[in-house]
Amino acid sequence: MSIGLIALLDDIAAIAKVAAASLDDVASQAVKAGAKAAGVVIDDTAVTPGYVIGFTARRELPIVGKIAAGSLRNKLLILLPAALALSYFLPSAITPLLMFGGAYLCYEGVEKLLEAFLPHHAHQHEAQLGTVALNAQTLEDEKVASAIKTDFILSAEIMAITLAAVPAGSLLTQSLVLALVGIGITVAVYGVVALIVKADDVGLALAKNDGASPFGGMGRALGRGMVRGMPVFLTVLSAVGTAAMIWVGGGIVLHGLELYGPPSIGHAVHAATQAAAHAVPSAAGVLEWIAHAAISGVIGLVIGAACIPVIGLVVAPAWKRLKRFLPGRSTAK
């Protein structure tokens, strides 16, 4: 009896070791895949605070929470199973779908540029789309919905990069790695976003500290600096986020064009980046990256500008007509 019990315990210990090794392997793959998606993660972090600017302090964290919840739904309930299904049944469709997503990012970025430099035309474009907010709640809902749509594209890129970085293996391992990366990146991105949007409130609290100690004085000085600096920082971050959408979207489309377009496109991009790298050999890697980003940005601007009339004159009217037939929608004008 005791010998049988010992054998059973040995079997349990062996199973536990295999499970622990599997978990270690999943965690290791998740870390490596997450690192490869770092560029898109930075873009996601830069883009999101722009959706919170203009709201009252008490609504900032709830809005970030809504966007984070939508991001998790995007990654775990839609993109994870879709990525696994496409990679198994139709892997050739992943890149074209990402190109459509990249074009939408370009459109979002150029639309924000239009809003910044030509606010009158931007307002007319919003009216065409039927997205002019009537009250604070409508504005908040539209901002959250827009942020979640943008997050969907960035999340799709993150999940695609992650899936490409995961070695061929069992479906369970791939699913666990994708889920772990999705949850980890969402927590990291929106945790940083929450800290960014509440930094001015922290600064205000420090500035109001009336302690007489030297540390109290240092805290007040730091708080005043944060209060004065955060609006500028958020403005700069919003500009970076807009540029990131255009750059990342253009880069996604460019990658697809290099795969499916004429070989001359890839050759031209490679020649341009190599010429930049050879200009200053000591900074070859940095200059090559800058050249590729610049090319992606120009392509993103062109695509985004082309999408503005297409969406305003074709897609938006078609969507309005379709919404009349959706359940719960009123057909009254």
* CA nearest neighbour of 89 among 33, 171, 177, 176: 171
The domain locations on the chain are 14-323
Q: Say if CB 170 and CB 22 are below 8 A apart.
A: no
One digit per residue, the tens of pLDDT, for the chain of length 333 reads: 455 544 544 444 444 444 444 445 555 555 555 555 555 666 667 777 777 776 777 888 888 999 999 999 999 999 999 888 888 888 888 888 888 888 888 988 898 888 777 766 555 655 555 555 556 677 788 888 888 888 888 888 788 877 777 766 677 878 888 888 888 888 888 888 888 888 878 888 888 777 666 666 787 888 888 888 887 887 787 788 788 888 888 988 998 898 888 888 888 998 999 998 888 888 888 889 899 989 999 999 999 999 988 887 777 777 677 766 655 444 444
Q: According to the 3-state scheme, what is the secondary structure of 262-317?
A: CHHHHHHHHHHHHHHHHHCHHHHHHHHHHHHHHHHHHHHHHHHHHHHHHHHHHHHH
Question: How many angstroms separate the CA atoms of 250 and 256, rounded?
Answer: 10
Integer angstrom CA distances of residue 317 from 53, 129, 314, 325: 29, 8, 6, 14
Buried b vs exposed e over 160-183: b needs ≥16 C-beta within 10 Å? bbbbebbeeeeeebbbbbbbbbbe
Q: What is the pLDDT of residue 73?
A: 92
Q: Say if CB 110 and CB 307 are below 8 A apart.
A: yes
Question: How many angstroms separate the CA atoms of 30 and 181, rounded?
Answer: 6
Q: What is the pLDDT of residue 8?
A: 46
Provide the whole-model pTM: 0.70
Question: How many angstroms separate the CA atoms of 80 and 185, rounded?
Answer: 14
Question: How many angstroms separate the CA atoms of 119 and 124, rounded?
Answer: 9
